[in-house]
Amino acid sequence: MTTKTLIDPAPSDQAAEQAAFDAVIEADSRIEPRDWMPAAYRKTLIRQISQHAHSEIIGMQPEGNWITRAPSLKRKAILMAKVQDEAGHGLYLYSAAQTLGITRDEMTEQLIEGRARYSSIFNYPTPTWADMGAIGWLVDGAAICNQVPLCRASYGPYARAMVRICKEESFHQRQGFEILLTLMQGTEAQQRMAQDAVDRWYWPSLMMFGPPDDESPNSAQSMAWKIKRFSNDDLRQRFIGMLVPQAEVLGVTLPDPELRWDEAAGRWITSDIDWTEFHEVLAGRGPMNAERIRRRREAHEDGAWVREAAAEYARTQQRRREEAA
Ligand SMILES: [Fe+2]
Ligand SMILES: [Fe+2]
């Protein structure tokens, strides 16, 4: 990953800079783009924010797939608004990453060349309309659990982008819930379709929180830098606690026969998560990995004329300004 490297300060300066950085983190204050920051902090943020941006953009595909087939005009309008929101989230996040010295072109290149990661949840197919409900309820629901604490992340531009994003994510979760609720109040076939979608999305949504704490090597450093505030397992527990009463209202069954609240331990007991599947999808061998990247690359190539036209317009405007002066 190429970034503009800042000129290294002299050693004594660097100790002072590091102390100033540590004090900001300690005080729960924000690091801003012009502030000195450790190279590893910058690198971690570029990786995390760009992956997050890519996830928003790739995440438009599984749902975009249903815009032309939404069951009513109202559903179509809601789904279009939701998919557009995800594009907006991608743009806020690319902008936040750019403040750290990486360019938008570099990030785009990494994505369309298949070198960048994005959330593996978007590598699953969306064969039925109920998937729009299950994605909103479970995938956007998990995103909210993950992202609300990021509104307090130590890097200012990231935290501020997350505040706007989280407001929209809660709308996404509700529209998904409402799609499932409508299906569950419908015919038997509609109820089966809703349950089938929940069965397929439940486990992947739990995997969105990342590997178990004892296998998550970068978590401790991210927590120390106050980028991350809660561990993967804590967030997963919180998410399950949110789902259980909502599943009851919906009348859907969460596909885990072992799932129960352990009063003494104060936590949810679940079946083992199939991490082999997670690693397969992460390694690019999920059902839709190649298709998602192919479509993203095509969309980028199809948009070349827009970028050229915009650049030409900017050049013309510049020339006119110079001539007028
Ligand atoms: Fe989003
Ligand atoms: Fe969303």
pLDDT digits (tens, 9 = 90+) for 183-221: 999 999 999 999 999 999 999 999 999 999 888 877 889
| Position 286 confidence tier, pLDDT thresholds 50, 70, 90 | confident
Q: Looking at the predicted structure, is the pLDDT value of residue 12 above 90?
A: no
CA of 258 to the centre of ligand 2 (A): 29
pLDDT, position 219: 85
Nearest CA among 138, 168, 152, 161 for reference residue 246? 138
Ligand nearest to the CA of 147: 1
Distance 302 CA to ligand 2 centre (A): 25
**pTM of the entire predicted model:** 0.91
Q: What pLDDT digit, counting tens, does each position of 16-49 carry?
A: 999 999 999 999 999 999 999 999 999 999 999 9
The average pLDDT across 263-285 equals: 89
Query: Cβ of 270: how many Cβ atoms within 10 Å?
Result: 16
In this structure, which ligand is nearest to the CA of 53? 1
Instruction: Quick: pLDDT tens for 288-307.
Output: 889 999 999 999 999 999 99
Span 256-274, average pLDDT:
95
Å from CA of 165 to ligand 2 middle: 8
State the Cα–Cα distance between residues 215 and 217, nearest whole angstrom: 6
| 169 Cα: distance to centroid of ligand 1 (angstroms) | 6
Q: How far is the CA of 131 from the centre of ligand 1 (A)?
A: 16
Give the pLDDT mean for 252-278. 94
